[in-house]
Chains A and B, each alone.
Chain A
Amino acid sequence: MDNTVIPMSEGAKCSCGASVVGIFPCAGASNVGQLSNAVAVELHKQGVGNMMCTVGIGGKINGLLKSAEGCGSIIVIDGCPLNCAQATMEEAGIPIGKHILLTDMDIKKNKDLDLDPAQVKEVLSKVTELL
């Protein structure tokens, strides 16, 4: 995992060229929630898609909703079977192209919020295989 800073100038993706892939992690308050966020950050850095604000969808923030609607496809990453991110997108009527559940990868949910970089790398690899 590198520590590349995403420059502000890349904060909004121009839709000229390939269609935009939106990545929405649950970013919940558990190890798997934080893993979903870390994996989304890495996928964004790798150019797989654009990480977006899942909580803004729940909050019905117009610009964020419209940004999600403007995506060519949507990847949702949930940490646990509560599937909050999936439910949030469904509630907003935003179609999900690919849904990934991290506890399906033999990871037990707990309240440890300190991520192990090796585990992030391993999960990132598994998620990438699923995309």
Chain B
Amino acid sequence: MNIMKIEILGSGCAKCNKTKKFVEQAVEQTGVDAEIVKVEDMDGILAYGVLITPAVVVDGDVKIVGRVPKVDEVIEWITQ
């Protein structure tokens, strides 16, 4: 089974760090086998068409842009 890939897109600002923390909490709570990757490289961010950060991408699908997700939202994305 493939490991889920969750990318946190952002420059390392406060909201981006909070997003990463919430994603980690969601992964921990659900026990989903996931790789969490922080993408700070602008080319990598723009490749998804994302123009505002933070953003969260789950297995290549952009889930949220421009705000910090709630842990429950992340749980919903990764357990669908």
- A residues near B (Cβ < 8 Å) are 8-9, 11-16, 20, 22, 50, 52-53, 56, 61-64, 66-67, 69-71
CB <8 Å contact, A62 and B62: yes
Q: Which residues of chain B have C-beta atoms less than 8 A from A61's C-beta? A: 49
B13 contacts A by Cβ under 8 Å: yes
Query: What range describes how many residues of B lie at the interface?
Result: 20 to 34
B48 at interface (Cβ–Cβ under 8 A)?
yes
* Chain B residues within an 8 Å CB radius of A9: 42
- B32 lies within 8 A of chain A by Cβ: no
Nearest chain A CB to B47 CB, angstrom units:
8
Of B13, B14, B50, chain A has the most CB atoms within 10 Å of the CB of B50
Within 8 Å of chain A (Cβ to Cβ): is B25?
no
Given A13-B51, A14-B15, A71-B52: A63 and B65 within 8 A (CB)? Answer: yes
Choice from A13, A56, A62 contacting B53 with Cβ under 8 Å: A13
| Contact present for A8 and B67 (CB under 8 Å) | no
